[in-house]
Amino acid sequence: MKVRILIIDDDPQYHKLLARHIKSEWADAEVRSIRKTDQSADGPLIPEGVNASDYNAVLLDRAPSGKDGLKSLREFKRRPGFPPVIFIIDRGNELLAVEAVKAGAEDYLLREEINHDRFIASLRSAIRKHKRTSALLSRRQALDEACRFGAVKIRGHRFIRELGSGGISSVYLAEGDKVKGLVVLKVFRLVPEILEAQNSFDRFIQEYELISRIEHPNIVRIFDLGVADDHVYITMEYFKEGSLRAEMNQALPAATALDYLRQIADALMAIHDVGILHRDLKPANVMFREDRSIVLIDFGLAKQMTLDQEITGSGEIFGTPYYMSPEQGHAGQVDERSDIYSVGVMAFEMLSGEKPFTADTPMAVIYKHSNTPLPRLGGALAEFQELLDKMLAKDPHDRFQSAEELLAYLDSQWPRR
């Protein structure tokens, strides 16, 4: 690597002398001088356009351009990546040299008497130090960049790629230091700008607080909640096998659909038992582990059934219209039977390969959930009609009243093997 030295001193003849010493050791060295004529009266010691970090070492006079060299030295040492400084003093100012070394100078140089060997040894030491510092700084910058997720730096995690982004949060794939392998980071803006964002933030915090204390094979594992800059983030399990959505381009074998339905109902029973509603059940929120077991994710719309309605506000609609219960679609009071309805829509789609209700607009879909009779299944699928009728009844009182009741029905009609 080419040696580059920066000299800050007002004497052009002295510059030439220093340059001769330097080039006798490194013939291709680049030596740049900064003198009083290069600076404005009140401007910085190093003029704009000169990047000191591009140099291996700086030779600094004790009083360049009439300024306090020791004060300048202290200011330089506060700059990240600033190269080592060799302080130039006059004979008789040895106490100043001691102060300079205390302030961070690599060494000092007597103006009237340059000992070539000592001078070159000091420069070599400075160059080695600069290389080490630059390498560490580059590594630190690379690590900082690796742990950047959008506008947020989250230490202990390394960015892989963005998985998705919405109005209130962004989702990333990352490597974590605490958890072996890949994890998912869901990052949420901590400082809401409007009331709607505050409500979303409250629901986001609930996602961690409510779900993280549930240990169940069919519920996502949440590893951590943290705050970085002005953002909150959740670290959770990553599912490389993807979601149920990818498998539902056509009807599934009945045995497979029943197995998935049992696992989803099992997870629902666990969350309902502790007073949590999911409220956004859909194929994209049903993931697969490597053993092809089912896992529920994304409880961003979950709420405790014991909480009052203030958090969601009056008349707000959350969820996905294709999988939304009639009462949820009309912003009515919801309970665990609403989640059962959403699972019923998925069960219909898994068995038939089609959604029970479709339309050109979300509101038209919501209308059909409330007013259009459930399509009838024919042929071999007719044996599942009663199951679907009891999951997809318009009136919640006509549905299965709990996930436990749904599981009992499944076991009575299609016993586990």
Residues 249 and 182 in one domain: no
User: Residue 189: its pLDDT value, please?
Assistant: 65
Among candidate residues 281, 370, 375, 372, the one with its CA nearest the CA of residue 330: 370
User: Residue 345: its pLDDT value, please?
Assistant: 97
User: Residue 309: its pLDDT value, please?
Assistant: 37
User: Residue 312: its pLDDT value, please?
Assistant: 41
Q: Is the pLDDT of residue 303 over 70?
A: no
Place of tokens 């979300």: 362
Which of residues 199 and 331 earns the better pLDDT score? 331
Give alpha helix (H) positions in 320-402. 326-329, 336-352, 362-371, 385-391
User: Residue 25: its pLDDT value, please?
Assistant: 93
List pLDDT tens digits, range 146-188.
888 888 888 888 888 898 887 677 899 998 888 878 899 988 7
List pLDDT tens digits, range 253-264.
999 999 999 999
| Domain containing residue 396: CATH number | 1.10.510.10
Q: Is the pLDDT of residue 300 over 70?
A: no
> Last residue of a domain, which of 237, 267, 285?
237
List pLDDT tens digits, range 382-402.
999 999 999 999 999 999 999
Q: 142 by DSSP, 3-state: which? A: helix
Mean pLDDT of 244-249: 90
> Last residue of a domain, which of 87, 113, 146?
146
Mean pLDDT of 320-325: 90
Residues 260 and 113 in one domain: no
pLDDT band at 372 (very low <50, low <70, confident <90, very high): very high
Q: What is the DSSP track for 69-99?
A: HHHHHHHHHTSTTPPPEEEEE-TT-HHHHHH
Residues 400 and 278 in one domain: yes
Residues 227 and 287 in one domain: no
Cα(119)–Cα(109) distance, rounded to whole angstroms? Answer: 7
User: Residue 60: its pLDDT value, please?
Assistant: 92
Q: Is the pLDDT of residue 306 over 70?
A: no
> Max Cα separation, the chain?
106
Cα(31)–Cα(293) distance, rounded to whole angstroms? Answer: 67
Count of domains for the chain: 3
Q: Look up the domain containing 384 and give its range.
A: 244-413
Residues 266 and 200 in one domain: no
CA-derived radius of gyration, the chain? 34
Q: Is the pLDDT of residue 61 over 60?
A: yes
pLDDT band at 313 (very low <50, low <70, confident <90, very high): very low
User: Residue 302: its pLDDT value, please?
Assistant: 57
Residues 152 and 229 in one domain: yes
Residues 32 and 109 in one domain: yes
Which amino acid appears at position 248 of this protein?
A: M
In which element (H, E) is residue 132 found?
Answer: helix 116-146
Percentage of the chain surpassing pLDDT 90? Answer: 49
Using the CB atoms, write b or e for 115-126: b if 16+ within 10 Å: eeeebeebbeeb
Phi, psi (rounded to 5 degrees) for 167? -70, -30
| Domain containing residue 70: CATH number | 3.40.50.2300
Active site residues: 280
Residues 262 and 226 in one domain: no
Of 110-119, 145-154, 367-376, the poorest mean pLDDT is in 145-154
User: Residue 192: its pLDDT value, please?
Assistant: 46
Residues 396 and 257 in one domain: yes
- Under a CB-based contact definition with an 8 Å cutoff, are residues 207 and 219 in contact? no
**Overall pTM surpassing 0.75 (yes/no):** no
User: Residue 140: its pLDDT value, please?
Assistant: 76
List pLDDT tens digits, range 180-231.
788 999 887 654 443 345 565 666 566 667 778 889 999 999 888 877 877 8
Q: Is the pLDDT of residue 316 over 50?
A: no
Residues 75 and 210 in one domain: no
- Under a CB-based contact definition with an 8 Å cutoff, are residues 30 and 2 in contact? yes
Average per-residue pLDDT for the chain: 85
Of 47-56, 122-131, 282-291, the poorest mean pLDDT is in 47-56
Cα(152)–Cα(363) distance, rounded to whole angstroms? Answer: 37
Cα(334)–Cα(146) distance, rounded to whole angstroms? Answer: 43
Q: Is the pLDDT of residue 315 over 60?
A: no
Cα(333)–Cα(274) distance, rounded to whole angstroms? Answer: 19
Residues 40 and 122 in one domain: yes
User: Residue 201: its pLDDT value, please?
Assistant: 60
| Domain containing residue 160: CATH number | 3.30.200.20
pLDDT band at 276 (very low <50, low <70, confident <90, very high): confident
Residues 119 and 166 in one domain: no
> Last residue of a domain, which of 206, 237, 268?
237
